[in-house]
Structure 1
Amino acid sequence: MSNAVANGLAGAGGGMIAQIITYPLQTVNTRQQTERVAKKSLANSKRLGTLVQILQVIRSDGWGGLYSGLKPSLLGTAASQGIYYYFYQVFKNKAEAIAVARKAKGHGDGTVGMFSWLLVAALAGSLNVLLTNPIWVLVTRMQTHTQAERKIMEERKEALVKEASENSLTGSELQVKLAELDSIKPHPYGTWQAVNEVYSEAKITGFWKGIVPTLIMVCNPAIQFMIYESSLKHLRAKRADRKQGSKNITALEVFLLGALAKLGATISTYPLLVVKSRLQAKQEIGGNISLRYSGTVDAIRKMIQYEGLPGFYKGMSTKIAQSVFAASVLFMVKEELLKIYTLLADKCNKVLLSSAK
């Protein structure tokens, strides 16, 4: 098995474990990002903590609400991390070979530079985005479905109250109609329902909604891996200079380096993540047509106009907690899986050599 395949499988395994652990935070964060609130309402609204919002989801949707869309999300995570780490390792091997070749010609010190790390991560990220975007469109729809349905029901009730005042309906008649709306049960909503909804709205192109900000966001893992690889290189060099007995990096050190890398990447690219979630969510959220988006530029323009700059940072604290912890777990588990693979591969090679003799 090549090191690229091993890295791909290890990345997929680490990503799935991290996703399961942090998924409730991801669900709440997606709902925070896609909630449309005008500037005045935003200024007057009371900001709820992440824990309070988690409890609200449990109260309204049950425990299952925190894990809505988990199945396609796990599929997406396995595919995304597997594809990303596979191509990352392929491009990394190529970059390292080029660096060694340049050193042989008297150029450089034989190590990969910061710009090369960025390019490697960006190339791997772009391929990952193009191949897995449809899965994340479905996950976003499933995470925000009940939120969208609740908004639609609120709009219907507001329209009914307005109609009642214009047509002089009695209070009892209005209550009957409102009760009829309350008695409507939400339709079952799973993966296939999400697929049908996306396809009915925009055909095949609907599965690549948000692709522009998502492609731009490949700079997120690019920045993340630049920080991670640079920090890892610095730590190993520091140990080599001190002539420490073991140059191996511990699981805790990988965890902390992963957290540092993801924190820097998340803070710098969060506004794009909010735009992407808005485009992928059901456009009925918010009701007003002025808050529905036809594309990336339209979404950015309307968010600035109706919500102001704070709209681009909704749920950022939740995202930092979720993504930093998830990235830390992912890096740690991936490195441990690679160590296990290396040990097993060494044992298999020894067995084969002894049997050959």
Structure 2
Amino acid sequence: MSKNDGGIAFASGLFAGFTTTVALHPLDLIKTRFQVDEGTIKHGSLLDRFRARLDGASRAVESTILTSRKIHREGGLRGLYRGLVPAVVGSSASWGIYFFLYEKLKSTASASLENGERLSAWQYLGTSAAAGAMTTLCTNPVWLVKTRLELQTPGNEPYRGFTHAFTTILREEGLAGLYRGIVPALILVSNGGFQFMVYEELKHSLGDRTLTAVDYMLLGALSKSVASTITYPYQVVKSRMQQHRSTYTSTLGTFSRIIESQGVFGLYRGMVPNLLRVMPSSAITFCTYELTKRAMQERSSSES
């Protein structure tokens, strides 16, 4: 991969992250609110609880709508965009860095193959997971600040904004405070690994034809839904650990407390708004990235 290709990948990822975040931030905020909800789920047999969840699933979308209305009623449009600044910073930087590293690692791995060979599904998983791990180490503090700001409510706002939240956390909790939830966050790089593995395999299955915007959107949405379903519990654990003055201090301890008080389904709180967010989010991100990269590459070729 040339320096020019690296710059194109970074710029395309940056723009894709920005576009997606601004378009869908309210759903991300609602998902985070659901994830830290510690309401107790009634105990009983696993089958009884599963049936109860199925009965409630039909009302999940309605609950998401009602929550958005409640947030809007309490804080207006501004309330639905709490935490937007760190979300935009984090998402734009994350996707820019991620795509740059992914394309770089993929190019390096491909160089070791014989002509005509393509990376295996597991190689795509490995390169995307490695890119995700490096990106997470760079951006975890931004995502932690985003989570804290999203969970603020009128009358309970310890942070005035992104900069104040960042400096306050650093002063009161130290550098370790900015890396709360880093273990589940690093485990969650498997989400991107699974997504890119599915995405690349699906893209390859479509052959050599030029893909359209609709193709990229469908591939992005489908691959993300598979990856998110597999790794969602770690997102819940990470959000619990990143709350302001969180009493959740370890990954395994958080898993145990959630299961003890809420059952296995407590690990899937917010799953519906999450899917409502990540499927269109991934569709927009991958479509924007692929089309922006194609346009920049064509422009670069015409100028050279």
1:82 paired with 2:37, answer no
Could you list the per-position Cα deviations for residues 96-146 of structure 1 after superposition, in whole angstroms to 9, with x for gaps in the alignment? 11122xx5xxxxx51111111011101100000000000000000000011
* Structural mapping, 1:80-159, within 5 Å: 80-100=94-114, 110-146=117-153, 149=156
Partner SS state of residue 281, structure 1: coil
1:266 paired with 2:228, answer yes
Letter in 2 for 1:112: L
Q: Is the 8 A contact 2:11 2:96 kept in 1?
A: yes
1:253 paired with 2:253, answer no
Correspondence for 1:324 among 279, 287, 298: 279
CA RMSD of aligned residues (A): 2.2
Q: Is the 8 A contact 2:149 2:159 kept in 1?
A: no
Correspondence for 2:74 among 60, 63, 67: 60
- TM-score by length of structure 1 reads 0.77
Correspondence for 2:65 among 51, 65, 80: 51
Q: Is the 8 A contact 2:183 2:251 kept in 1?
A: yes
Q: In 2, distance between residues paired with 1:147 and 1:295?
A: 29
Q: In 2, distance between residues paired with 1:336 and 1:7?
A: 11
Q: In 2, distance between residues paired with 1:228 and 1:306?
A: 36
Letter in 2 for 1:324: M
2:16 matched residue in structure 1 = 14
Q: Is the 8 A contact 1:6 1:341 kept in 2?
A: yes
Q: In 2, distance between residues paired with 1:148 and 1:225?
A: 42
Could you list the per-position Cα deviations for residues 28-66 of structure 1 after superposition, in whole angstroms to 9, with x for gaps in the alignment? 110110111123499899965211110000011221111
CA 1:318–1:92: 2 relative to 1, 3 Å: same
Partner SS state of residue 39, structure 1: coil
Q: In 1, distance between residues paired with 2:256 and 2:171?
A: 26
CA 1:147–1:197: 2 relative to 1, 3 Å: farther
Could you list the per-position Cα deviations for residues 234-282 of structure 1 after superposition, in whole angstroms to 9, with x for gaps in the alignment? 111xxx5xxxxxx211111011011111010111000000000111111
2:245 matched residue in structure 1 = 283
1:206 paired with 2:168, answer no
Could you list the per-position Cα deviations for residues 171-195 of structure 1 after superposition, in whole angstroms to 9, with x for gaps in the alignment? xxxxxxxxxxxxxxx5662113322
List runs of 5+ in structure 2 lacking aligned partners.
Answer: 44-48
Q: In 2, distance between residues paired with 1:218 and 1:8?
A: 19
Deviation at 1:196, TM superposition (A): 3.8
1:223 matched residue in structure 2 = 194
Q: Provide the aligned length of Structure 1 versus Structure 2.
A: 290
Q: Report percent identity of matched pairs.
A: 30
Q: Is the 8 A contact 1:121 1:225 kept in 2?
A: yes
1:32 paired with 2:34, answer yes
Q: Is the 8 A contact 2:26 2:80 kept in 1?
A: yes
Mean CA deviation greater in 117-126 or 337-346: 337-346
Q: Is the 8 A contact 1:145 1:282 kept in 2?
A: no
CA 1:193–1:35: 2 relative to 1, 3 Å: farther
List runs of 5+ in structure 1 lacking aligned partners.
Answer: 104-108, 150-185, 241-246, 285-291, 350-357
Q: Is the 8 A contact 1:96 1:112 kept in 2?
A: yes
